[in-house]
Structure 1
Amino acid sequence: MKSNIITAKSLRAMGFPESPVIPVVLEAVKKHLKHTASADIEAQLKALLQAPENFYNDSVFATAAQKLKPPVEDTTTGGDISLNSTGISFAIYGASGIEAGAMHQMYTAAKLPVAVAGALMPDAHQGYGLPIGGVLATNNAVIPYGVGVDIGCRMCLSIFDIVPTELVQRENFFTRELLEATLFGSGAQFKQPANHAVMDSDVFDALPLLKSLKDRAWRQLGSSGSGNHFAEFGAVHIVDADTLPGVPAGTYIGLLTHSGSRALGANIAAHYTKLAKQLRRLPGDAANLAWLTLDEEAGAEYWMAMNLAGDYASACHHIIHAKVARQLGRRPLTMIENHHNFAWKETWNGQEVIVHRKGATPAAAGVLGIIPGSMTAPGYIVKGRGEMASVNSASHGAGRLMSRSKAMQNITHEAMKAELKKHGVKLLGGGLDEAPFAYKDIQAVMQEQTSLVDIIGSFQPKIVQMCGDAQRGWRRGPREKWHNDFVEGE
């Protein structure tokens, strides 16, 4: 049976609700019934639609059956919601280096009626909703601004069996490959888009919002955005060979990229944050923490859209890395990838919760990740220790010491050039807002989270590509602060 015989159109014709049921059914059919005759599938689907209660424990359609249940009345919908008088307790890592604004945001989030557990990472700084570096577990609720604007933003590292001295000896070659591998800039689009299976996802056609964004998403597939997003070559030093099979302890060339879901994620975030705020009006500083429950249509839609944006962000990285590997004529020894600005279903003290990691890295026991420094400071390849106090999380980088506007006001081009020369780094693009001085000391940040991760290797940047001031086209006027300070997309 062809996987496209059962389509969103045919499900609508049977009477299935547009959302969230149709995408769930399509996924179930694709995963479990790809070798089943279409007539048999249709018979099962009609039975499901007629009596969903008979399928609550079904191995194929249990999730869809739950979505067909009448919605549970939510007493917190459609009115003003008060915060709890006292918040849940949460661990703070590196408190002395965290600004007051980020602390205030985390304490506010801890008072949400849906909050279950939380933590604040040592790279934390103020953002919208949750602080960047904030981790929050909730009961059956997803907070669009707890995930962030740049949904699924991630790190991806390919390690190649090439000695790092080639980065100096063949600098022009590696520079050219970085420049040709991707595009930077918030509006950057390819004239000839790449192909990737993510663009065939049925979810694009199941939700009208995503359908309207699909064409632009395709043209931006494999691009890298602006702000703190980068693509860079550097020297990888592996100290714990047992963790990476096939990668002996030693020194290699690495390609490290950092970017997210581009306009797709930003539009999803804006749309569902607006809906969440309409459904749940929170007081003052908590307004951006409005949530959607997974039992309601908007919440189920957001969950599907968020996961699609995460898959899309991953595809962008894989396209970039495949281009570079092809030009190098080498397969990477391994690829390590982790993401932040996302929400996961996890178990916490025996309870299923939704864990938001906004600018925080998953660090469950044995989970690999990359924590970058700055364009001159080293990043670290890490293995999670599964620390419950941090909700199985770690920092996603060094964290900002200065806002973007403050960095541009206080850092000179001369100082930045001197710092790059001192560390032997060649910079392609990259503005003063991303200068090394704008970031916290990565060594101090790592020292604050020794209980959260083990270091198994390092990455020292050598050739760095970023967007740069001229490509950003920053706006001036009333929205200048938003655009400058949060252009990276939280």
Structure 2
Amino acid sequence: MGNKISGKDLIKLGFPKTNTINIALGQINRYRKKEKKETILTEAKNVLLNPENYEGNGTWGKLAESLIQPVEIKKHELKSTRAPFSIFGENEIDEPTKFQLYDALKLPVSVAGALMPDAHFGYGLPIGGVLATDNAVIPYGVGVDIGCRMSLSVFDLPAEYLNGKTDMLENILMNHTKFGMKEVHKIKADHEVFSRDEFREIPLLKGLLDKAYTQLGTSGGGNHFVEFGIVEINESKPEWNLPNGKYVAVLSHSGSRGLGANIAKHYTYLAGKQTPLPKNVQHLAWLNLETHDGQEYWKAMNLAGEYAKACHDDIHRRIAKALGKRVLVNIGNHHNFAWKEMINGKEYIIHRKGATPAGKGVLGIIPGSMTAPGYIVEGLGNESSLNSASHGAGRVLSRSKCKQTFTRNDIKNVLKKNGVNLIGGNVDEAPMAYKDIRKVMNCQQELVRVLGTFTPKVVRMDR
């Protein structure tokens, strides 16, 4: 008979011949397949008899939900009309990107949307797309790199400190930052995020804890970076206790690493099964926040965001220690995330996929390319943008187009002209691949106020 549990085993226990059988088998195969058959069947029987006792349980919660309130799976069609939306910097955005937002606005759960001036084509939502939904979260509306964020540390050092220290700064970045799939720190750091209940209560996360611990304080590939540069503060905030002027600073860009990628993959699959959509928008499948999977994703997403922040905190701690200087001010923000926010007196889910939160008084960082300034900004709370702004300059050339267009010598010449030293980096991240950040910022003057700038000088990326 073997140790594998079948649908017949569950039917013998008294399970109804409905989708509950598939749900039970899916949960068992995913999380409990190495355990004894008798043990699993005993637990399954208890869930059948008293499902209310298992609501919210990591393994059995979804099965309990299906027994208490069965949900009919049906294919959803798009609405014929779009939800209200605004586009900022329309002339800087191509048509395919706009139409990607238009499709998202036709989802049955969509209530409003916006497109930022750095927007370009992506999976599901466009990069630079903002979407408000009613009681639903779209894993691909958040993105694969959950909690991808910016973090800027301003040091107690004048800008002149950088003069003649390029070799030293390169050594600090080489020795104290790690990139890509293989590099990790030899001396691991602990962090309070690892004591979060979600790592014990959600089976998927329990299996990702070791990976998360190993990758703490590392950065991903692609457009992720850690760089030394010069911050110029033009309008200091009272809480910074920092006079206007120029300082040495470190800017980092990265997300939740393997933890976030695995969360995105798992819950995108579940969303696709629960809210199937037409092929052209299948990546926009959502999870109802009142369901077990919706609540579980929300917890996992928020944990991934906290983990991404922990990675940046560790990066900046290591660099500050190597410099032997204290951080005066740190500013950071997510730009791949979903938030619960109020619109016209009602709470909705605001997805910002490659967009910076820009509620009134909210601080953020909008980077340029390696050879262009980034901006320290304060949100103006513009409701037509769903309290959002761009997350950077935005691509004008795809990665494949970059490889066809530029050589490494082209990049070296541009970097030299701008006085920037680069460690690593691939042709697909050529500075010329990006829009003019100054034009992008000009298109969002009604969204954010500029408090200062960051100019890169020594940059490290994945090789």
TM-score, with length taken from structure 1? 0.81
Change (3 A) 1:327 1:191: closer
Q: Is the 8 A contact 1:399 1:440 kept in 2?
A: yes
Q: 2:224 aligns with which of 226, 229, 253?
A: 229
Deviation at 1:324, TM superposition (A): 1.1
Please give the alpha-carbon distance, in whole angstroms, between the structure 1 residues aligned to 2:306 and 2:236: 29
Q: 1:275 aligns with which of 270, 275, 279?
A: 270
Deviation at 1:211, TM superposition (A): 0.9
- Cross-structure match for 1:62: none
Q: 1:98 aligns with which of 88, 93, 96?
A: 93
- Cross-structure match for 2:24: none
The reply to whether residue 415 of structure 1 matches residue 410 of structure 2 is yes
Q: 2:338 aligns with which of 328, 343, 365?
A: 343
Q: 1:329 aligns with which of 324, 327, 348?
A: 324
Q: Is the 8 A contact 2:52 2:68 kept in 1?
A: no
Q: 2:56 aligns with which of 8, 20, 30?
A: 20
Deviation at 1:193, TM superposition (A): 2.4
Partner SS state of residue 169, structure 1: coil
Partner SS state of residue 327, structure 2: coil
Deviation at 1:243, TM superposition (A): 5.4
- Residues 199-238 of structure 1: CA distance to partner in whole angstroms, max 9, x if unpaired? 1111011111111111111110110010000000000000
Partner SS state of residue 163, structure 2: helix
Change (3 A) 1:213 1:192: same
- Cross-structure match for 1:46: none
RMSD between aligned residues: 2.2
Partner SS state of residue 302, structure 1: helix
Partner SS state of residue 237, structure 2: helix
- Cross-structure match for 2:455: 460
Q: Is the 8 A contact 1:363 1:384 kept in 2?
A: yes
Q: Is the 8 A contact 2:137 2:294 kept in 1?
A: yes
Which AA in structure 2 matches 1:411? F
Partner SS state of residue 232, structure 2: strand
Deviation at 1:68, TM superposition (A): 9.4
In the TM superposition, 1:42-61 aligns within 5 A as: none
Q: Is the 8 A contact 1:19 1:207 kept in 2?
A: no
- Cross-structure match for 1:441: 436
The reply to whether residue 391 of structure 1 matches residue 427 of structure 2 is no
Q: Is the 8 A contact 2:55 2:65 kept in 1?
A: no
Partner SS state of residue 208, structure 2: helix
Partner SS state of residue 269, structure 2: helix
Deviation at 1:22, TM superposition (A): 7.5
- Cross-structure match for 2:373: 378
Partner SS state of residue 122, structure 1: strand
- Residues 15-47 of structure 1: CA distance to partner in whole angstroms, max 9, x if unpaired? 986663679xxxxxxxxxxxxxxxxxxxxxxxx
Deviation at 1:167, TM superposition (A): 1.8
Q: Is the 8 A contact 2:364 2:378 kept in 1?
A: yes
- Cross-structure match for 1:130: 125
Please give the alpha-carbon distance, in whole angstroms, between the structure 2 residues aligned to 1:374 and 1:73: 50
Partner SS state of residue 295, structure 1: coil
Q: Is the 8 A contact 1:152 1:341 kept in 2?
A: yes
Please give the alpha-carbon distance, in whole angstroms, between the structure 2 residues aligned to 1:411 and 1:244: 44
- Residues 310-329 of structure 1: CA distance to partner in whole angstroms, max 9, x if unpaired? 00000000001111111222
Which AA in structure 1 matches 2:432? F
Which AA in structure 2 matches 1:208? P
Please give the alpha-carbon distance, in whole angstroms, between the structure 1 residues aligned to 2:238 and 2:119: 28
Partner SS state of residue 207, structure 2: helix
Which AA in structure 2 matches 1:156? S
The reply to whether residue 295 of structure 1 matches residue 290 of structure 2 is yes
Which AA in structure 2 matches 1:131? P
Deviation at 1:189, TM superposition (A): 3.2
The reply to whether residue 364 of structure 1 matches residue 400 of structure 2 is no
Partner SS state of residue 155, structure 1: strand
> Across the two proteins, how many residue pairs are aligned to each other?
413
TM-score, with length taken from structure 2? 0.85
- Cross-structure match for 2:160: 165
Which AA in structure 2 matches 1:150? D
The farther-off stretch of 431-440 and 193-202 is 193-202
Partner SS state of residue 346, structure 1: strand
Q: Is the 8 A contact 1:192 1:219 kept in 2?
A: no
Deviation at 1:140, TM superposition (A): 0.3
- Cross-structure match for 2:172: 177
- Residues 452-485 of structure 1: CA distance to partner in whole angstroms, max 9, x if unpaired? 00000000000000002xxxxxxxxxxxxxxxxx
Q: 2:249 aligns with which of 230, 246, 254?
A: 254
Change (3 A) 1:392 1:70: farther
The farther-off stretch of 160-169 and 225-234 is 160-169
Deviation at 1:387, TM superposition (A): 0.1
The farther-off stretch of 241-250 and 392-401 is 241-250
Deviation at 1:418, TM superposition (A): 0.9
Which AA in structure 2 matches 1:163? P
The reply to whether residue 211 of structure 1 matches residue 206 of structure 2 is yes
- Cross-structure match for 1:428: 423
Please give the alpha-carbon distance, in whole angstroms, between the structure 2 residues aligned to 1:188 and 1:16: 45
Please give the alpha-carbon distance, in whole angstroms, between the structure 2 residues aligned to 1:93 and 1:408: 29
Q: 1:202 aligns with which of 197, 201, 218?
A: 197
- Residues 394-415 of structure 1: CA distance to partner in whole angstroms, max 9, x if unpaired? 0000001111111011012221
- Cross-structure match for 1:145: 140
Deviation at 1:244, TM superposition (A): 5.1
Change (3 A) 1:19 1:429: farther
- Cross-structure match for 2:310: 315
Change (3 A) 1:70 1:238: farther
Partner SS state of residue 401, structure 2: helix
The farther-off stretch of 383-392 and 412-421 is 412-421
Which AA in structure 1 matches 2:308? A
In the TM superposition, 1:27-46 aligns within 5 A as: none
Partner SS state of residue 364, structure 1: coil
Please give the alpha-carbon distance, in whole angstroms, between the structure 2 residues aligned to 1:406 and 1:326: 40
Q: Which runs of 5+ in 2 are unaligned?
A: 1-45
Please give the alpha-carbon distance, in whole angstroms, between the structure 1 residues aligned to 2:69 and 2:133: 18
Q: Is the 8 A contact 2:57 2:201 kept in 1?
A: no
Change (3 A) 1:348 1:70: farther
Please give the alpha-carbon distance, in whole angstroms, between the structure 1 residues aligned to 2:153 and 2:286: 36
Partner SS state of residue 273, structure 1: helix
Q: Is the 8 A contact 1:371 1:381 kept in 2?
A: yes
The reply to whether residue 83 of structure 1 matches residue 78 of structure 2 is yes
Deviation at 1:168, TM superposition (A): 2.7
Which AA in structure 1 matches 2:56? P
Partner SS state of residue 327, structure 1: helix
Please give the alpha-carbon distance, in whole angstroms, between the structure 2 residues aligned to 1:19 and 1:399: 43
